Structures are given as structure tokens and as C-alpha cells.
Chain A
Amino acid sequence: MRILRLIADRWRALVGRERVTGEIADELAHHEALLAETLERGGLSPDAARAEARRRVGNRALLQDRGYDVRGGGAAEALLQDLRYGLRGLRKQPLYTLVAVATLALGIGANTAIFSVASGVLLRPLPYANGDRLSMVWMDNRRIDLARDWHSYPAYEDYRTGNTTFEDMAAFNRRSWTITGQGEPTRIRGAHATASLFPVLGATAEIGRVFTREEDEGGAAVMVLSHGLWQRMFGGRPDVIGRTVTLSARPTEVIGVMPAGFAFPTPDTDLWVPTSVAPGARTNRGAIWLQVIGLRKPGVGVAQAQADLERVNRAILEANPNQQGYGVFVTSYYDEVVGPVRPAILALLGAVGLVLLIACTNVANLAMTRAATRDREFALRAAIGAGRGRLVRQLLTESVLLAVAGGVTGLALGAAGLQLLVAVAPPDLPRLAAIGIDGRVFAFTALLALATGLVFGVAPAWQTARTDPGAALKEGGRGASAGGRGFRRALVVAEVALAVMLLVGAGLMVRSLVRMQQVDLGLDTTGVLSARVALLGDRYQDEAPRVDFFARFVDRARAVPGVEAAAAVGSVFLSATPNSTNFAIEGRPDFAPDEAIEVPVDSLTPGYFDLMRVPLREGRAFDTRDTATSEPVAIVNASMARRFWPEGALGRRFKFGRLASGTPWMTIVGVAADTRRTGYEAAVRPEVYLPQSQGAEYSMQVLLRTTGDPAAMAPALRSLVRDLDPSVALQDLRPLDEERDAMLAQRRLNTRLFALFAVVAAALAAIGIYGVIAHGVAQRTRELGVRVALGATGRSLLGLVLREALGLVGIGLVLGLGGALAAGGAMRRLLYEVEPADPATLVAIALLTLAVAALAVAAPAIRALRVDPLHALRDG
């Protein structure tokens, strides 16, 4: 009943203040009239009676206001009043406000930045229609232990026509082309693609059209541009459609431009051409050169598609027994894109979440300290009629005010941090372009700020609600906060535990990074300048001119001052899916289909091993004796020699393909030390090197070892190539160190961010410890004074304070280490040759925590030492 009346009253008050105050006015007028009548009966003149009555009833407006207030009409206005009062209070204590807002802004800002990344990378739908139904279809190549290998064209066709679970499939292959005749020769990254790629991705041309199946299969010389390339190279002119452009020496017609934002398979893909290549590429099951993507039918899951394609694969194996060892592996495209970074992003989200929790704890602590000093104020307000609910609401309002200020500052901080983050993020971070502050991030931050305000606001409000106003007034505003003391100590324990968890995580990641950086790649990239050179056109149709080009390049480069050595190689570092092939060994039967393995193959010029400082374990390097007409030779790496010729590899012969293949026998003339060419984490595979003179490629990575700064030699390298052939474009001209570091870039960034957050967390926790202990010492001044008066030594006082502080820290430390061990499993994917329970890390973090805690406690402890008993007893 009462509730109903309350609601009715409030509702009436809110919808019409006029009406409520009108009723009150009526009532007062009635009172005044009756009073006047009575006075008149008592002998006053009518005028005098009315005047007296009006005087007695008094200030009607004020009465109305007070009536409005007690009748609950003020609910909305009370909020405004709370806000005003809160703002005034916060302004009056600028240091408190500043520290609280800064702490919250730090926590909220970090969350905003990392959530923006998570939102852009993990949450946003892929920028393709039906992106959630896209699947990568890989060849599960057990011959080279690659679950994600490419397909031959016939295999792609078999899967495409034989499946029942896909609407359609498309094949593609990333490549670079040189565009000439549009200013400087320019290398452009693009992709060969079947015509079905565009419908599979649900994309159509912005202007013009995409190519047809007939054009694809007929090898038509047509291309589709990205929006970006159209703008950059062709000025966004619509008449580009129909123009002929020289694409790697082949006149090619521009038939369409894709809309802005369309990019596949990588963000830097700028053109698409049909999959027309060398004759036989479409019929040869041994030519593995295509990646396959498919659009699953609605309602079909990845597992179902996998089962379907396995059925198709069994048919392929039945018809082609030599394909044993080649399976099929279906994944969701979304997982392909975000899978590699998801663990890191989730870990970082967890890290900033902990930072925010610590920030909340700190501010709650601050707010409780502040509330405690306001006990008397609150007691006074309670005594003059402010309800307990009203006081709690006041405190919560202040907390939310702080949180909103922290949220706004945090949003700005987060936006700035995000910009920085995107700027330093490795360019291969997937979906970099999708990262930004959008409505979702904004809503997240707003919610976070409000939740934060409530979380840290509840503690002081609860404390105040429990405070007995009478006690607060009696005890002079000191003892009333004793109840909050236990809670505050619990907060310290909690934040130490959270910080320790973060520190352990960061410690493990730093150790992983250090371990990885210490990994000897087996080759020395420092001081080496590198660029990719691609030869094209009729004049390089034959092998001889290609051999000649790179031989002359190496010769001329050696003569350049500042160049110590020069060489060319297919690729210094290998992609996950390197150019690789089957092979057969002389004097042994062919590998059984299920034992067959593939080895990566690379061509190189004499001098490569010297230049990269890769030692030869046995035999010799390639030299000028190895020519197109001399005996075919090869160098194998130590892994290959050990695995296939444990009795000694020198002089042994092997050939690519099978024994019956028409390929020539190659004699092993050298064994090179193993090098980690697939990056820091991949195992070393058996590898084969061929002399460039016997297997000349069109595109090679040229290398200069310089005596000075390699970057300074870039112009020299450019002019060397231009002098040899002005139509050749250079790509990726940069010090080789950069290529090596790029392999670590993501891990380095993750580690730095994690470490940064851990340091912030530790600093916040230290501030929290300091605050609680300092407050404790201040509150116990009288007690400490008594102890001194009774003869306590400085040492024993120090012990008193330290015991309390280190007790709290110790409990937090134990809990934190336990938490870190419990959460260690989640970290495992981010670690490299470090166990989640790495004892060295745990011990180091424990010592660090104690050291930081000791620092935080030092100042209050010293203050305790200086307590003057007289002073303390008098003022306490």
C-alpha cells in the first residue's frame, strides 16, 4: 500500500510539479482563511485578521517548496542536488579528484584501446557477404607435415564438382606483377583467381565488371583493379575501363574496378587476374599452386563440410594412388583470419581487465578513506534529517561522477593509445583497417565507466550505511571507520593478487621473447641489404639470360665500394608453404606413397653461404665450375643429410619426382648447416639448394653485405639493377634485419603491451598499499604514541607497521601466484619454450613484488618512527 502511494506521489510529482504545489497552495489558503475568521471572531477587524493570518501562515512559497520536497516530488531534483553537491565536494578536494579520475582514466583507457582492437579484429563480421559461411579448403599434406598446403588445379576441380556442402568454391594464388608504361616500373601485389572468387565472396565490381569463367579458363589477358590502385595509378578516372596496361610484359585489358574496402586474400592485394598460366598447370596433379576458398551452403557447419570433402578425397585417392599422403582440411575463414591473434588479444583483454579492477580497488580505497573522514559530516546530515538512503545515494552519485569523468578522459586516452597502437602494430596484424572507435566501443566504454563507478562506489557507500551516526559524533570522527578497515585491507590483498597475476604473465611473455630472440637462426642478417628482383618479358624466356642477369649483378655489385659480398637466392626466409617437391634417392626404391616427403627447394648464386655466414659442414659451396652444362649438383642442409644419408651424404645422388621421372640425377657436393628459414617457431625441415646456374628462377632476392649501414646502400643497389635493365622493378628494398624482425613483431608488441599493463598494475597496487598503510598509521597515531610513551623502540614500531603491511602483501602474493598458476594454461599458447609454472619467473616476480611493497610501505613506516608521543596524545 505504502509503496503504491509512494509511487503515485512520485509520479504525480514528476509529471506535474504545478499540480502538486497547487494542491498545497489550496490547503494553505484554506488554513489562512479559517485562521482569519477565527481572529475576526476574536475581535480583530477583517483587514487586520487577514493580515495577521497571512503573517502566521508565513512564506507560502517556502512552505510549498518544503511540502513538495517531503512529498517525494524532489526525487528528480534530489538527483540534481546530489550532482551539484557531489561536484562541489569533488572540486573542494582537487587532489583526491585528480588521482581518482587519473587512475580510472588509465584503467578505462587501456580497456577502450584493447577492446577497440578486439572489437575490430574479433567481433566485427568479415567484410564479405556471408563471411560466416566462408571456409578455407586446404590440402592436408602429411608428406611435408603441413596441415595447410595448397592444391593442384585438378584437385580443386574435383572438390568443386564433387562436393554437396558448398554453394561454390574458388581458387586463387597470390603473386606480384610489374606494371610498366605508367611512370616508374612498379611492383603490384595481386592474385590469380578463378572467376568464381567474386561470387563466393559476394562481391561485384564498382565500375566495369569482373571476369567470366570463359575468360578464366581461356586465359584472357584481363584484370580487375582494387579501388586503391585505381585511385593511385589511374587517378580514379572512369575511362580506365577498356584501357590496356602492360602487366609483367603482357598487354592486359582493365575490365573492372572493385569497390573501396574490398581486399582479398590480403589487405594489400591490388589486382586480380584469371588463373591462366603455363600449359599443363590445369591438368598436372603434381603442380600445387592454388589456395581454395568455399562458400558453405546455409546451415552447413565446418565439420560437415570436412566430412563431405573427405569423401571426395577418398575418390581422388582411389583414382590416383600416387596422391597418397594428401588429405583435405576444412577451416572456417574467420578462424583463419583471426585465429593466430585471438589468444594474444584475449590475454591482453584479460590484462587490461585486471588493470581496471585494480584501478577500481584503488579508487574504492581512496573513496573509503575520504568517506571515513566525512563520517562526522554524514552523521550531522543524518541527524538533521537526511535518510541513510539519501547519504548512500549521495556517495554513489559522487562515485558515478568520478567514473564518468574517468570514462571521458579514458575514452580520449584510449583513442590516443589506439592510434599509437595501430601505428606500431605489425602490418600483418589481421584486419588492421577494421580497428577504430565505433559505436560498440563507445557503448562498451560508457558501460564500463558506469559499472566501474558502481563497483568502487559500493564499498564506501556500504561503509557509510553501516556507520551509526551517534557513534560517529561521539567518537570525534575517528573510530567510526574501524569497520571499513578490514574491508580496505581485503582490497589491498586483492589488488596485490591481481597485480601479481599480471606480473607473472608479463614475466613469462618477456622470457619467451628473450628465449626467442636468443634463438640462433643460423644465418646473419645484420648488415645485409635485400631486394626482390623479378625478370620479365620475352628476353628472359630462356634460362641463359636469367642466369646471366644475376651473375652479372653479383659481379658488378662486388665492385661497388662499401659492398663486402653480393649474392642472390630464391628466398632467404620461407613462407609457411614453400616451393617444395618430392624426390627419389639413387639405389633405393621410391618412397612408399604414405612415406613420401617433400623438401623445399631454392636456387642460389655462389657466395650465398659466405654472405649469410652459414657454415658448410661438409664439401664445397657452389662456384663457377657449376654451369648449365656441367654435372647437376646440389647442396643439402644438415637435417636432410642426417635423415637420409646418415652414413655420409657427399657424392650421393638424388632426383626430383620419382625414380622413373625424366628429371636429372643431382650429386650432393656440400652439406650446409641448418638455418631457421621458416621463422623462430617452426622446426627445421630437410632442404635442398641448387646452383642458380642450373635452375634459374625469374624472381630472386638479391643481397648485399655492406661495410656500413645497409640502408645507405639502397640507391647503389637501385642503380645497379637499373644499369643492368631499366625495365626491372625492385620490391621490398630494405635491410634484411627488418625482414627478420618482422617475424617477431607481433610477439614483441604483445609482450610490450602486456608488460606495460603489468607495470601499470603494479604501480597502482603499490599506490594502493601505500594508501592503506599510510592511512592506518595516521589513524593509529595515538596508539603508536602510547606505545612510544610506554617505551617502545623505533625498531618495534617499524616492525609493527611492516608486519601488518607485509602480512597483507604476503597473502596477496600467495593468492596471486596461485591465480597465475591456475590461469597458466590459458597463457600456454603465447609462450615459447617457457612453462607457465616457470620457477625462475615466479621467484623473480615474488621478489619484485616484495621489493615494490617495501618501497610503498617505507614512507608510512618512517612516519610511524617519527611519532612524537606528546603530540600524538594531545592531538589524538
Chain B
Amino acid sequence: MAAGTNADQLHGTLDMLVLKVLQAGPQHGYGIAVRLQALSADVLSVEEGSLYPALYRMAQRGWIGSTWGVSENNRRARFYRLTPAGRRQLSAETESWRRLTGAVARVLETGSGLGSRPRDRR
């Protein structure tokens, strides 16, 4: 495992990340995994056991589509691409993620002693 953070701990955000990767263009499963790892500067390593079920689930929901094609090394591979529904999903999730992380960040920056004097903060 390349880094300390496991993708499983980010359950639910995996979908968003995969969609983000696919925003750049159609890609096969392995390609998605490699790209995710690269984009996150090796912080995020995707387990195959999570990636493929996530892909099938998102295909089911209509966020991504798939076609069989030929990969860069001339192998038969299934390529996934973003659908319009997936694009909408991505922007919605990105937005709510930003809100959440923003909120968490604000709390972390200002919140020392928060638990011991709750009433003072009203």
C-alpha cells in the first residue's frame, strides 16, 4: 500500500473521485485506478475490490456508460465514460464536498477548547 490513507475510509467519496477522473475522458478500470493515485499524489490508492463494484453501481445508476474497446497496449478493455447524469452528479457532489470540507476546516481552525466551554460560544 503506497500511503497511509485507505480508500475504504472514504467510502462514498470514491464515486465522486471516479467521476472526476472520468471528466477528463473515457478510461478503463485500470486507467482509473492509476489516474486516481497519480492525481492524489499517491495519497489515495484504490483497491480493486472497491473500484469495480463502484463502477458497476454507477453504471447502474446511469452516471457512467461503458463500451468495449482496445486499450493502449492492444488489449480488449471496457472503457467507462461520463454521462450527462454523471456530470450533474459530479458537480452536485463536488459542491457539497466543498461545503463540508470548508465547514470542517473552519471548525478545526477556530475550535480549540470547544468541548469544555460550549455555552460561551452562543
Are both chains from one complex? yes
- Interface-lining segment among A2-10, A590-598, A804-812: A2-10
With CB as the reference atom, state the residue of chain A lying closest to B72. Answer: A34
Q: In whole angstroms, how far apart are the Cα atoms of A5 and B85 in the complex?
A: 14
A-facing residues in B49-83 (Cβ within 8 Å): 49, 52-53, 56-57, 59-60, 62, 71, 73, 75-78
Distance from A196 Cβ to chain B, minimum over Cβ atoms (Å)? 74
Q: Given A1-B62, A63-B53, A66-B53, are A30 and B75 also a contact pair (CB < 8 Å)?
A: yes
Q: Number of contact residues on B: which range applies?
A: 20 to 34
Q: In whole angstroms, how far apart are the Cα atoms of A504 and B75 in the complex?
A: 80
Of B30, B60, B77, which contacts A72 at CB under 8 A?
B60
With CB as the reference atom, state the residue of chain A lying closest to B61. Answer: A2
Q: In whole angstroms, how far apart are the Cα atoms of A4 and B46 in the complex?
A: 31
Q: Given A5-B62, A30-B30, A31-B48, are A67 and B71 also a contact pair (CB < 8 Å)?
A: no
Chain B residues near A63: list those with CB within 8 A. Answer: 48-49, 52-53
B-facing residues in A25-71 (Cβ within 8 Å): 26-28, 30-31, 33-35, 37-38, 56-59, 62-63, 66-67, 70-71
Is A380 an interface residue when CB atoms closer than 8 A count as contact? Answer: no
Of A5, A35, A59, which contacts B49 at CB under 8 A?
A59
Q: In whole angstroms, how far apart are the Cα atoms of A71 and B76 in the complex?
A: 20
Q: Is B48 a contact partner of A37 (Cβ separation < 8 A)?
A: no
Q: Is A6 a contact partner of B60 (Cβ separation < 8 A)?
A: yes
Is A733 an interface residue when CB atoms closer than 8 A count as contact? Answer: no
Q: In whole angstroms, how far apart are the Cα atoms of A38 and B34 in the complex?
A: 10
Q: In whole angstroms, how far apart are the Cα atoms of A63 and B54 in the complex?
A: 11
Q: Is B48 a contact partner of A30 (Cβ separation < 8 A)?
A: no
Distance from B3 Cβ to chain A, minimum over Cβ atoms (Å)? 15
Q: In whole angstroms, how far apart are the Cα atoms of A56 and B62 in the complex?
A: 28
B contact face: mostly helix, strand, loop, or mixed = helix
Chain A residues near B57: list those with CB within 8 A. Answer: 70
Of A30, A37, A71, which contacts B56 at CB under 8 A?
A71
Q: Is A70 a contact partner of B56 (Cβ separation < 8 A)?
A: yes
Distance from B28 Cβ to chain A, minimum over Cβ atoms (Å)? 7
Is A741 an interface residue when CB atoms closer than 8 A count as contact? Answer: no
Chain B residues near A38: list those with CB within 8 A. Answer: 34
Chain B residues near A167: list those with CB within 8 A. Answer: none
Distance from A818 Cβ to chain B, minimum over Cβ atoms (Å)? 51
A-facing residues in B88-104 (Cβ within 8 Å): none
A-facing residues in B7-47 (Cβ within 8 Å): 28-30, 33-34, 47
Distance from B89 Cβ to chain A, minimum over Cβ atoms (Å)? 13
With CB as the reference atom, state the residue of chain A lying closest to B75. Answer: A30
Chain A residues with a Cβ closer than 8 Å to the other chain, count:
28
Q: Given A27-B29, A33-B75, are A70 and B34 also a contact pair (CB < 8 Å)?
A: no
Is A681 an interface residue when CB atoms closer than 8 A count as contact? Answer: no
Q: Is B56 a contact partner of A34 (Cβ separation < 8 A)?
A: no
Distance from B26 Cβ to chain A, minimum over Cβ atoms (Å)? 14
Chain B residues near A33: list those with CB within 8 A. Answer: 75
Q: Is A71 a contact partner of B52 (Cβ separation < 8 A)?
A: no
Is A421 an interface residue when CB atoms closer than 8 A count as contact? Answer: no
Is A336 an interface residue when CB atoms closer than 8 A count as contact? Answer: no
Q: Is A70 a contact partner of B48 (Cβ separation < 8 A)?
A: no
Is A206 an interface residue when CB atoms closer than 8 A count as contact? Answer: no
Distance from A816 Cβ to chain B, minimum over Cβ atoms (Å)? 50
Q: Given A57-B48, A63-B49, are A27 and B60 also a contact pair (CB < 8 Å)?
A: no
**Digit string of A616-640 for contact with B (CB within 8 Å is 1, else 0)?**
0000000000000000000000000
Q: In whole angstroms, how far apart are the Cα atoms of A30 and B62 in the complex?
A: 24
Q: In whole angstroms, how far apart are the Cα atoms of A63 and B49 in the complex?
A: 6
Q: Is A70 a contact partner of B60 (Cβ separation < 8 A)?
A: yes
Chain A residues near B75: list those with CB within 8 A. Answer: 30, 33-34
Is A524 an interface residue when CB atoms closer than 8 A count as contact? Answer: no
With CB as the reference atom, state the residue of chain B lying closest to A27. Answer: B78
Q: Is A28 a contact partner of B77 (Cβ separation < 8 A)?
A: no
Q: Is A34 a contact partner of B73 (Cβ separation < 8 A)?
A: yes
Q: In whole angstroms, how far apart are the Cα atoms of A703 and B73 in the complex?
A: 112
Q: In whole angstroms, how far apart are the Cα atoms of A30 and B30 in the complex?
A: 8
With CB as the reference atom, state the residue of chain A lying closest to B63. Answer: A2
Q: Given A67-B53, A67-B56, are A26 and B76 also a contact pair (CB < 8 Å)?
A: yes
Q: In whole angstroms, how far apart are the Cα atoms of A26 and B77 in the complex?
A: 8
Distance from A56 Cβ to chain B, minimum over Cβ atoms (Å)? 6
Q: In whole angstroms, how far apart are the Cα atoms of A24 and B68 in the complex?
A: 12
Of A1, A6, A56, which contacts B48 at CB under 8 A?
A56
Q: Is A71 a contact partner of B59 (Cβ separation < 8 A)?
A: yes
**Digit string of A579-613 for contact with B (CB within 8 Å is 1, else 0)?**
00000000000000000000000000000000000
With CB as the reference atom, state the residue of chain B lying closest to A28. Answer: B52
Q: Is B29 a contact partner of A31 (Cβ separation < 8 A)?
A: yes
Which of B29, B60, B85 gathers most chain A CB within 10 Å? Answer: B60
Q: Given A27-B77, A56-B48, A63-B48, are A2 and B62 also a contact pair (CB < 8 Å)?
A: yes
With CB as the reference atom, state the residue of chain B lying closest to A35. Answer: B30
Q: Is A30 a contact partner of B71 (Cβ separation < 8 A)?
A: yes
Chain B residues near A70: list those with CB within 8 A. Answer: 53, 56-57, 60
Chain B residues near A66: list those with CB within 8 A. Answer: 52-53, 56
Chain A residues near B28: list those with CB within 8 A. Answer: 27, 30-31
Q: In whole angstroms, how far apart are the Cα atoms of A184 and B60 in the complex?
A: 85
Q: Given A24-B52, A56-B48, are A30 and B60 also a contact pair (CB < 8 Å)?
A: no
Q: In whole angstroms, how far apart are the Cα atoms of A72 and B71 in the complex?
A: 27
Chain B residues near A35: list those with CB within 8 A. Answer: 30
Of B30, B53, B85, which contacts A34 at CB under 8 A?
B30
Is A23 an interface residue when CB atoms closer than 8 A count as contact? Answer: yes
Q: In whole angstroms, how far apart are the Cα atoms of A133 and B37 in the complex?
A: 86
7 A-B residue pairs with Cβ-Cβ distance under 8 Å, sorted by A, are A24-B52, A27-B52, A30-B29, A31-B28, A34-B73, A58-B48, A70-B57
Q: Which residues of A contact B (CB under 8 A)?
A: 1-2, 5-6, 9, 23-24, 26-28, 30-31, 33-35, 37-38, 56-59, 62-63, 66-67, 70-72
Closest 5 CB pairs of A and B: A2-B62, A34-B30, A70-B56, A31-B30, A70-B57
- Can you name 14 extra interface pairs (CB under 8 A) apart from A31-B29, A71-B56? A2-B85, A23-B78, A26-B76, A28-B48, A30-B29, A30-B76, A34-B30, A63-B48, A63-B49, A63-B52, A66-B52, A67-B53, A70-B53, A71-B60
